[in-house]
Amino acid sequence: MDVLQVAGFLDNSLVNGKGLRAVLFLSGCHHNCKGCHNKAMQDFCYGEKVCIQEILLRIKNNMPLIKGVTFSGGEPFEQADTLYKLAWAVKSEGLNIWCYTGYTLEYILDNLNNKGWRELISSIDVLVDGRFEEEKAAKDLRYRGSSNQRIIDVKESLKNNNITIYNVD
C-alpha cells in the first residue's frame, strides 16, 4: 500500500496556485527557513499516514469544480518516491499540478537520481521553487512568500532547457 505522511488537505483553495485547487500538505522538511510559516510541518511524523487511493478519491469528489492539485508542505520532494504515484494518477484525471518546494529547479535537475525525483518533476506543471527568505518576504506577492521564489512553467523550461517563468495572469 502506498502511503504518504500528510500534514493537511484542503478540498478547494484559491490562494495556492491558479484556479480553484485541492491542496495536499506533505509532512517533513529539512530546509529550516527562518520565519517558516509551517514550522509544525517540518516534523516528518506530523499529521497522519494516508493511503494515496484515499487522497485520490477525495480529489475526485471535487471534480469538476477544481482545476488542479497543489502539493505543498513541508517539502513534497522528501516523499517523492510515493508522491509521484499520486501525481501520475492526478494527471490521468486531466488535472494540472502545482508544487511548492524549497529546492530550486536547477538542484532538482542535478539530483534526478534521488528516489522518485525524476518521476515527480515530470508530472509537475508549475513549480514554485526556492526556500522562503524572510528578508525578501512581501504580502503582495501572488502565490509565493518571498521574492526569490520563482513560479516556473516546468514543461516549457524542460523543452527550452531554460527557466521559463509561468504567467499567472
Residue 158: φ, ψ to 5°: -70, -40
Whole-number Å distance between alpha carbons of 153 and 159: 10
Task: List the one residue from 32, 111, 147, 160 that touches ligand SF4 (CB under 6 A).
Answer: 32
Q: Is the dihedral of CA 50, 40, 96, 118 positive or negative?
A: negative
Which grid coordinates are listed for 83? 508522491
Q: Is 58 in the site for ligand SF4 (CB under 6 A)?
A: no
Among 17, 47, 68, 74, binds ligand SF4 (CB under 6 A): 74
Stretch that binds ligand SF4, among 52-60, 68-76, 117-125, 153-161 (CB under 6 A): 68-76
DSSP 74: S
**Site map for ligand SF4, 100-139, x if CB under 6 A?**
--x----------------------------xx-------
Residue 100, phi then psi, degrees to nearest 5: -95, 135
What does the DSSP 8-state code read for residue 27? P
* Residues at the contact surface with ligand SF4, assessed by CB under 6 A: 29, 31-33, 36, 38, 41-42, 73-75, 102, 131-132
